[in-house]
Amino acid sequence: MALQESLNRFKQQQEKCQSTLKSISRANASSSNTKVAQQPPQKKSHTAASSSLTAKPAAPIKFSNDTERLQHINTIRKSSHGRRMKLVIDLLFETREALTAEEIYNGCYVDIHDNNNEIYDSLRNNLKVSFDGKRFSYKAKHDLKGKDDLLRLIRNNLEGLPVVDVKDSYTSVIDDLMALKNENLVWLLSNMDSQEDIVYPNDPKALLKTDDDVKQLFRGTDLPRDFVDLEKELVKMGMKPATKTAERRAAAQVLGVPLSKPKPKKRSEKFNRRSKLTNAHMPELFQFND
């Protein structure tokens, strides 16, 4: 009986040990599952932390890239009335288009939106500006569109046309003026007193009026006898002589070629055939009394 009881107690102890081992194994399995389930968020947090560490530092806060333009606008706004007027007129001259107040502001940052604006009133009354009630445009003294109109205007002004009067007609007017000069269609002369260029039509048939004082000045001016002295006077007046007498004389001396003056033509002493025939029918002219 004592042996049987000890065996029963041993079996009970084994059963308890097995149950304990099973509970321990279940606990280990559940803990491992929880660890596996918790690993992804731990990795994500780790990767997030590592990414935050490796990320580039944020750019420092700067002023707006438009600061320079705003400073320029503020400078124009505080500038004088004359400077703002010049900016607008220069814009109209360069574009040669009819512009609204908004387009003018976008082009040169001069505000003329308000009808009571002083710039607005000055533009409407300016001789160089045309206003149709909505748009402003540049107005030249002569309405020329091209080279043909320019030549026609010059030919209508026989006594000369100041270049400054046509200089702002259109953008390429100076190029067309030089082209007309190179084609020998016009004369372009400089006024030594006023420092202004005057353009004249090159028309031999044109009848030009000359003042009496100009005639007297021309007739009362003694010209140098020698071409060298004459060329020196032309150089003093800013003109380039075309004869180049001094250079020709120097070249002739170097080469040993004498500068001979042209010989006057001798009148022929022989009678031509017509004179002989004319005198042949008057024999009495050749009869002499002894």
Query: pTM here?
Result: 0.45
Residues 191, 197: contact at Cβ < 8 Å?
yes
Q: Across-strand partners of 180? A: none
Residue ranges of the alpha helices (H) in 125-244? 147-156, 173-182, 212-219, 227-236
Q: Is the Cβ–Cβ distance between 152 and 174 less than 8 Å? A: no
Give the neighbor-by-neighbor strand order of the sheet with 196-201: 161-162, 196-201, 186-191
* pLDDT per position as a tens digit, 117-135: 788 888 888 888 988 888 9
Q: 243 in helix, strand or coil?
A: coil
Express each pLDDT in 77-132 by its tens digit. Answer: 888 988 999 999 999 988 888 999 889 988 998 888 766 578 888 888 888 898 88
> Chunked in runs of 10, what are the mean pLDDT values of the chain (290 residues)?
64 72 68 52 47 50 67 87 91 89 90 77 88 89 90 89 89 91 89 75 77 86 81 84 80 69 59 52 56
For 86, 196, 244, 272, 275, the CA distances from 269, given in Å and listed in that order, are 80, 58, 39, 9, 12
Q: Which SS3 state, helix, strand or coil, does residue 99 take? A: strand
